[in-house]
Chain A
Amino acid sequence: MDGFERALELLPGRLRQRAERFRGTGVEELRLRTGRPPTALIDGREREVDGAPVTRQELLLLLEKATGASLHTAAPALAEGFLSYRGLRLGLCGEALVRDGELAGFRDFRSAAIRIPRECRGVCDGVMDSLYGGGYENTLVISRPGGGKTTALRELIRKLSDRGLRVAVVDERNELLAAGGTGEGFDLGAHTDVLTGAPKARGALWLLRGMNPQLLAMDEITRREDLEAAAQAAGCGAWLLASAHAADLDELKRRPLYRELLELGLFQRLLVISGTGGARRYRVERLAE
């Protein structure tokens, strides 16, 4: 079952029927906003799925399906603003619930975005030589949100693993493997061990201790703990492959966390993804030592 099928499975009856016609069109996201028509994001543009607006009840049904009617198990993920459902990321928005100054979840939901993971074999073929022709080096993949970081990371992991490198992946949100209920997921290569659901920082240490990887991969460095985990992994002799939200090196330098990451000198190569949909461009930059 591919990502789009799993996304359809999540949708309540009427929306499912209407969204069926977008099968095979390369839908990147399905977006539902109460009181507005549902839309599908294709090639960076939102198209209406159905003229009738999404109701609050439909959004609640979607949420109940995504959590398996078990909100208590989804509470930690909700505090981060998203849920994982069989490898799909379900971003949520609404009235936030704040406890002790921290986001604890939502009091009410107003919109949801279902991001559909895609396997795009060969997207990194053109940059493999410039990235790893002279040997392995720590690589950071960057793009704007929704710019194809995860897809590229997945492809790099598979390629490197199939070349014989022992790869360990901390897949905190189950987006890289995107394993469904029966455990199937994307092909991440013959020599890859994947840890899903664990926080990056703890998971990285766990993998370094237990799986003796030559390369440690992680998606989206967004918190200080992630940065510390990357530094620790580099200190243990494993190569690093990670991603971050930034359009280019200049934007990366402007963000305090990423500036710190660059100052640590953990990464030597930068893979910059620009453009949208089928017109994505991949560029390799060398970071100063």
Chain B
Amino acid sequence: MRLWGAALILTACLGAGLLRAASARRRMETLRGLCGALELAEGELETRLTPLPELVWLLAGRSSGQTGDFFRLLDASFGFLGAEDFAALWSRAAATALSSLNSADREELARLGQILGRYELDRQLGALEACVRALRGELEAARVRYPGDRRLSLGLGAAAGALLIVVLY
């Protein structure tokens, strides 16, 4: 019985470590998806002057995971335009759909939402470029940190489990 209990504690702690590593991986996937989508948005705006509702619909169809959820949610919320401004709709969709991002990532996106569709084209393109650069920087940093972080998460999980077993038994 004690052996079973120790095994369960160790598995639970290792699981927690794995979950932490998985959440870092999800953030990287979301950042990658967002960078791709925002680069596509930059191209659409620059070459076709695509209106935002059409652009968001396009991005919703071409993105997957949390990025896809974000653009789909934003697409659905265009009906509220006029009652709320676009920046508010953008931030709310980001807060709801992009749960794997940290607060700094979301702030970066919120800054972009305040400029998109509101100012002249050059300023919007500049904001898109700056946002992509910042998110790509975060993605690179996360990618470099990921193997170490993953080992650390698993190690900490295993160590916490072992410590708990020693304390309890």
Q: How long is the Cα–Cα vector from A105 to B121 in the complex, in angstroms? A: 13
The contact of A72 among B82, B85, B124, by CB within 8 Å, is: B124
Mark B73-109 against chain A: 1 for CB-CB distance below 8 A, else 0: 0000010011111100000000000000000000000
> A110 at interface (Cβ–Cβ under 8 A)?
no
Mark A40-67 against chain B: 1 for CB-CB distance below 8 A, else 0: 0000000000000000000011101101
Q: B residues within 8 A CB of A65?
A: 81-82
Q: B residues within 8 A CB of A69?
A: 52-53, 78, 81, 86, 116-118
Q: How long is the Cα–Cα vector from A19 to B30 in the complex, in angstroms? A: 44
> B45 at interface (Cβ–Cβ under 8 A)?
yes
Q: B residues within 8 A CB of A9?
A: 82
Shortest distance from the beta carbon of A79 to any chain B beta carbon, whole Å: 11
Chain B CB within 10 A, most for which of A10, A61, A67, A69: A69
- Contact status B81-A72, CB under 8 Å: no
- Contact status A68-B53, CB under 8 Å: yes
Q: B residues within 8 A CB of A81?
A: none
Q: Is the interface of A mostly helix, strand, loop or mixed?
A: helix
> A205 at interface (Cβ–Cβ under 8 A)?
no
Which residue of chain B lies nearest to A12 when distances are taken between CB atoms in the complex? Answer: B82
Which residue of chain B lies nearest to A11 when distances are taken between CB atoms in the complex? Answer: B82
Q: How long is the Cα–Cα vector from A60 to B51 in the complex, in angstroms? A: 17
Q: A residues within 8 A CB of B53?
A: 68-70
Which residue of chain B lies nearest to A10 when distances are taken between CB atoms in the complex? Answer: B82
Mark B50-67 against chain A: 1 for CB-CB distance below 8 A, else 0: 111100000000000000
> A127 at interface (Cβ–Cβ under 8 A)?
no
Q: Answer whether A70 and B120 are a contact pair too, CB < 8 Å, given A60-B85, A61-B85, A65-B82.
A: no
- Contact status B121-A72, CB under 8 Å: yes
Q: B residues within 8 A CB of A13?
A: 83
- Contact status A64-B121, CB under 8 Å: no
> B169 at interface (Cβ–Cβ under 8 A)?
no
Shortest distance from the beta carbon of B119 to any chain A beta carbon, whole Å: 7
Chain B CB within 10 A, most for which of A10, A13, A71: A71
Q: How long is the Cα–Cα vector from A101 to B59 in the complex, in angstroms? A: 38
Interface positions of A from 103 to 155, Cβ below 8 Å from B: 105
> B164 at interface (Cβ–Cβ under 8 A)?
no
> B49 at interface (Cβ–Cβ under 8 A)?
yes
Q: How long is the Cα–Cα vector from A162 to B83 in the complex, in angstroms? A: 42
Mark A72-104 against chain B: 1 for CB-CB distance below 8 A, else 0: 110100000000000000000000000000000
- Contact status A64-B118, CB under 8 Å: yes
Which residue of chain B lies nearest to A73 when distances are taken between CB atoms in the complex? Answer: B51
Q: How long is the Cα–Cα vector from A73 to B81 in the complex, in angstroms? A: 17
The contact of A71 among B81, B83, B118, by CB within 8 Å, is: B118
Chain B CB within 10 A, most for which of A10, A60, A62, A67: A67
- Contact status B119-A71, CB under 8 Å: yes
Q: Which residues of B contact A (CB under 8 A)?
A: 45, 49-53, 78, 81-86, 116-121, 124
10 contacts between A and B (CB under 8 A): A10-B82, A62-B82, A64-B118, A68-B81, A68-B117, A69-B116, A71-B119, A72-B121, A75-B120, A75-B121
13 additional A-B pairs beyond A71-B118, A72-B120, beta carbons within 8 Å, are A11-B82, A13-B83, A60-B85, A64-B81, A64-B85, A65-B81, A67-B117, A69-B116, A70-B50, A70-B53, A71-B119, A71-B120, A72-B117
